[in-house]
């Protein structure tokens, strides 16, 4: 197994890393050598979750450390360790069951992560030592890093072309097939909404379709919103709202990473990945408020607001997904600020048209310590999307229920009988926290993988 940076299987002098929960700290501390007890008392260390304390030997060299943790099966319970510990090689000096060991390894990697593509220097870091690293944990870590790297990369280096290149690289590694329809070919092959949103950019809009797996296996389609930059279009965003819009392809980042993880783990599934990749730019041929655009499904849509563009590219992708008659359809999108107002930055909003799917996804999130919160497909709010001249409006003139109405818009393009789940995800950390560095973030990804893994197992 090729170990990522921050991990090693061999070392001559690993330092002991203890972990305790606060209620158990007093008993643990009483069993330590007197100098360690005295030092911890002097530092007022009490085992509080998220705390770290190292100590030295008689020569002044680092001799060990203790972490305060709460839930040992939560990767984020361990994520403060690698950045807070002195540089060196560390080995867990406590009994860990399989779940806790996997959480430690994943949390260590999440805690180490920093986006360094444009940095000229990096400091030495703590490394985790083990002879029993878990390959699945590293694949999950790689998927989370994939999301973070894609979202953190500025649009100059992460446009529709680059998203396509990522899909093609994944396909080459895992033996998948890729088909891309771009530019005016979108009109010829009936993806008019994707074309409308992306036509003003100098970068051609496209739909990326990746196919992998055995025909006999259950078929899951994974869709992602790939708006590589969102100016808001002619309904131009304010500067503050536009500042981080490189992250508006966060849904595509999640979809790509999830598909890559399924392929890496060789789950007995057949998957189709659909990424609608565009840049919502301002230009002479930008789509306008008040226009009526066509969609692949044949539903006409009046443009109430050009900044509600994600649902427009997704509706063509969802229509294509339903044509494939999948057993399961999942989509990820940085769709609405309203979801953040309702749930804040950490909780993705989950919508589903199937009770069993919603239950299983929420349960998977709890098990993986990757929570989501279910929101209602409250269909009476479809009245907010009424158009006087088209079948549907893409937005409404009210600020109420913005995330719900966006999900209802998407549901209009999901065929009856297709089990569908939609995640309105922020894909971003506004500030640095242990295991959650400022910038791009994978949210609901580990839960989605756990869901697919359970479904593949039957």
* Per-residue model confidence as pLDDT tens digits over 226-275: 999 999 999 999 999 999 999 999 999 999 999 999 999 999 999 999 99
Angle between helices 310-323 and 402-411 (to 10 degrees): 30
pLDDT band at residue 12 using 50, 70 and 90 as cut-offs: confident
Can you tell me the mean pLDDT for 21-46?
Answer: 96
Rounded CA separation 244/152 (Å): 9
Rounded CA separation 372/350 (Å): 6
> How, if at all, do strands 88-92 and 292-293 pair?
unpaired
CA-based nearest residue to 250, from 445, 425, 432: 425
Can you give the pLDDT at residue 103?
97
pLDDT band at residue 120 using 50, 70 and 90 as cut-offs: confident
Other beta carbons within 10 angstroms of residue 380's beta carbon come to 9
- The DSSP element (H or E) to which 298 belongs, if any, is none
pLDDT value at 143 more than 90:
yes
**Per the structure block, which two tokens stand in for 423?**
């995640």
pLDDT band at residue 1 using 50, 70 and 90 as cut-offs: low
CA-based nearest residue to 313, from 396, 201, 404: 201
Can you give the pLDDT at residue 315?
98
Can you tell me the mean pLDDT for 69-90?
Answer: 96
> What is the reported pTM?
0.97
pLDDT value at 408 more than 90:
yes
pLDDT band at residue 207 using 50, 70 and 90 as cut-offs: very high
The question of whether 433 is a catalytic residue gets the answer no
pLDDT value at 314 more than 80:
yes
The position carrying tokens 């995640």 is: 423
CA-based nearest residue to 42, from 24, 56, 58, 31: 56
- Could you report the per-residue pLDDT of 346-395, keeping only the tens digit for each? 999 999 999 999 999 999 999 999 999 999 999 999 999 999 999 999 99
Can you give the pLDDT at residue 111?
96
Determine what percent of the chain is predicted with pLDDT higher than 90.
Answer: 93
Can you give the pLDDT at residue 132?
81
pLDDT band at residue 124 using 50, 70 and 90 as cut-offs: confident
Determine what percent of the chain is predicted with pLDDT higher than 70.
Answer: 100
Can you tell me the mean pLDDT for 54-69?
Answer: 94
Query: Are 139 and 3 in contact, with CB atoms under 8 Å apart?
Result: no
> How, if at all, do strands 52-56 and 88-92 pair?
unpaired
pLDDT band at residue 5 using 50, 70 and 90 as cut-offs: confident
Rounded CA separation 12/204 (Å): 54
Can you give the pLDDT at residue 413?
98
The question of whether 44 is a catalytic residue gets the answer no
Rounded CA separation 412/408 (Å): 6
pLDDT band at residue 214 using 50, 70 and 90 as cut-offs: very high
Per annotation, catalytic residue among 237, 374, 412, 433: 237
Per annotation, catalytic residue among 199, 206, 270, 311: 311
Mean pLDDT, the chain, integer:
96
């Amino acid at each position: 197994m090729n170990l990522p940076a921050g991990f090693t299987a061999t070392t001559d002098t690993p330092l002991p890393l203890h972990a305790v929960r606060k209620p158990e700290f007093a008993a643990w501390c009483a069993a330590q050598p007197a100098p360690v007890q005295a030092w911890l008392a002097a530092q007022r260390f009490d085992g509080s979750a998220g705390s770290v304390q190292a100590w030295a030997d008689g020569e002044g060299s680092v001799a060990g450390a203790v972490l305060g943790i709460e839930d040992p099966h939560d990767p984020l319970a361990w994520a403060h360790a690698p950045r807070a510990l002195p540089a060196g090689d560390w080995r867990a000096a406590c009994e860990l069951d399989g779940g806790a060991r996997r959480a430690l390894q994943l949390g260590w990697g999440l805690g180490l992560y920093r986006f360094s593509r444009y940095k000229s220097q990096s400091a030495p870091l703590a490394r985790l030592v083990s002879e029993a690293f878990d390959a699945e944990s590293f694949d999950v870590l790689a998927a989370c890093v994939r999301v973070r790297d894609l979202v953190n990369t500025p649009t100059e280096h992460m446009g529709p072309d680059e998203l396509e290149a990522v899909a093609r690289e994944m396909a080459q590694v895992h033996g998948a097939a890729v088909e891309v329809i771009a530019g005016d070919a979108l009109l010829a092959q009936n993806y008019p909404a994707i074309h409308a949103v992306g036509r003003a950019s100098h970068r051609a809009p496209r739909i990326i379709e990746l196919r992998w797996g055995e025909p006999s296996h259950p078929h899951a389609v994974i869709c992602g919103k790939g708006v590589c930059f969102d100016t808001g279009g002619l309904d131009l965003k304010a500067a503050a709202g536009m500042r981080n819009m490189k992250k508006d392809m966060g849904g595509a980042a999640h979809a790509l990473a999830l598909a890559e993880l399924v392929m890496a783990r060789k789950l007995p599934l057949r998957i189709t990945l659909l990424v609608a990749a565009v840049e919502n730019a301002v230009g002479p041929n930008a789509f306008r408020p008040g226009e009526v655009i066509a969609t692949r499904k044949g539903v006409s849509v009046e443009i109430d607001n050009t900044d509600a563009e994600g649902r427009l590219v997704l509706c063509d992708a969802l229509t294509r997904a339903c044509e494939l008659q999948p057993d399961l359809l999942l989509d990820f999108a940085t769709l609405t600020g309203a979801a953040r107002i309702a749930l804040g930055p950490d909780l993705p909003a989950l919508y589903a048209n199937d009770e069993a799917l919603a239950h299983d996804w929420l349960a998977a999130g709890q098990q993986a310590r990757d929570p989501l919160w279910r929101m209602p497909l409250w269909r009476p709010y479809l009245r907010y999307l009424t158009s006087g001249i088209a079948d549907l409006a893409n937005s409404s003139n009210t600020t109420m229920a913005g995330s719900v109405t966006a999900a209802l818009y998407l549901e209009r393009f999901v065929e009856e009988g297709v089990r569908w789940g939609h995640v309105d995800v922020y894909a971003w950390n506004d500030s640095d926290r242990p295991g959650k560095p400022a910038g791009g973030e994978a949210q609901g990804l580990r839960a989605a993988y756990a869901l697919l893994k359970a479904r593949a197992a039957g």
